[in-house]
Amino acid sequence: MTARADRTAMHWGGATDVGRVRTSNQDQFLARPDLDLWAVADGMGGHSGGEVASQIACDTLGRAYADQTVDGLIEAVEQANSAVYRAGHDNPDLTGMGTTVVALAAVRHEGDDVLAIANVGDSRCYRYADGELDQVTTDHSLVADLVRDGSLSPEEAAVHPQRNIVTRVLGVYDSVPVDVFAVDPRDGDRYVLCSDGLFNEVPEPAIAAVLRRERDPDAAARHLVHLAVEGGGRDNVTVVVVDVVDDGGRASTASAALARDGGAGGPGGPRPSPAYAEDDADRWRSRRRRRGDTAEIDAVPGGSVLADPEVGDGEDEPEAGRPRRRRRFTWRVAMFTLLILVVIGGAVATIQWYGTSAYFVGFEGDRVAIFKGRPGGLLWIEPELVDVTDLERERVPESRRQDIDQAIEQTSLSDARRYVANVTEQADELHPLSTTTSTVATTTTSSAPPATTTTAAP
* Banded model confidence at residue 134, pLDDT cuts 50, 70, 90: very high
| Phi and psi angles of residue 108, each rounded to the nearest 5 degrees, phi first | -105, 135
Q: What is the pLDDT, as a whole number, of residue 332?
A: 65
Do residues 185 and 113 make contact, with C-beta atoms less than 8 angstroms apart? Answer: yes
Single pTM value for the model: 0.58
Of the candidates 327, 324, 400, the residue with the CA atom closest to the CA atom of residue 362: 400
Beta strands 179-183 and 112-120, pairing class: antiparallel
SS (H, E, C) the chain: CEEECCCCEEEEEEEEECCCCCCCCCEEEEEECCCCEEEEEEEECCCCHHHHHHHHHHHHHHHHCCCCCHHHHHHHHHHHHHHHHHHHHHCHHHCCCEEEEEEEEEEEECCEEEEEEEEECCCEEEEEECCEEEECCCCCEHHHHHHHHCCCCHHHHHCCCCCCCECCCECCCCCCCCEEEEECCCCCCEEEEECHHHHCCCCHHHHHHHHHHCCCHHHHHHHHHHHHHHCCCCCCEEEEEEEEEECCCHHHHHHHHHHHCCCCCCCCCCCCCCCCCCCHHHHHHHHHHCCCCCCCEEECCCCCEEECCCCCCCCCCCCCCCCCCCCCCCHHHHHHHHHHHHHHHHHHHHHHHHHHCCEEEEEECCEEEEEECCCCCECCECCEEEEEEEEEHHHCCHHHHHHHHCCEEECCHHHHHHHHHHHHHHHHHHCHHHHHHHHHHHHHHHHHHHHHHHHHCC
**What is the percentage of the chain residues whose pLDDT exceeds 70?**
72
Average pLDDT over residues 408-420: 87
Q: What is the pLDDT, as a whole number, of residue 279?
A: 40
The pLDDT tens digits for 256-308 are 443 444 443 333 333 333 333 334 334 443 333 333 332 323 332 333 222 23
| Average pLDDT over the chain, rounded to an integer | 77
CA 220/CA 214 separation, integer angstroms: 5
CA 100/CA 77 separation, integer angstroms: 11
Q: What is the pLDDT, as a whole number, of residue 251?
A: 56
Please check the confidence at residue 311 and state whether its pLDDT lies above 60: no
Please check the confidence at residue 55 and state whether its pLDDT lies above 60: yes
Average pLDDT over residues 242-249: 81
The pLDDT tens digits for 137-181 are 999 988 777 877 787 777 777 777 667 688 999 999 999 999 999
More confident residue, 454 or 404: 404
Q: For the chain, which domains are there?
A: 2-249+279-284+296-307 (3.60.40.10), 358-432 (no CATH)
Of the candidates 64, 5, 50, the residue with the CA atom closest to the CA atom of residue 242: 5
The pLDDT tens digits for 363-386 are 998 899 999 988 888 888 889 899
Q: What is the pLDDT, as a whole number, of residue 448?
A: 45
More confident residue, 273 or 195: 195
The pLDDT tens digits for 332-373 are 677 777 888 888 888 888 888 887 888 999 999 889 999 998
Query: b/e per residue, 165-189, with b = 16+ CB within 10 A?
Result: bbbbbbbbeeebbbbbbbbbbbbeb
Q: What is the pLDDT, as a whole number, of residue 205?
A: 96
The pLDDT tens digits for 58-109 are 999 999 999 999 999 999 999 999 999 999 999 988 988 999 999 999 998 8
More confident residue, 331 or 136: 136
Q: What is the pLDDT, as a whole number, of residue 298?
A: 34
Of the candidates 41, 124, 123, 114, the residue with the CA atom closest to the CA atom of residue 72: 114
CA 163/CA 158 separation, integer angstroms: 7
The pLDDT tens digits for 7-37 are 589 999 999 999 999 999 999 999 999 999 9
Residues contacting residue 374 through CB under 8 Å, at least 6 positions apart: 162, 354, 355, 358, 360, 381, 383, 409
CA atoms within 13 A on the CB side of 374: 17
CA 13/CA 3 separation, integer angstroms: 11
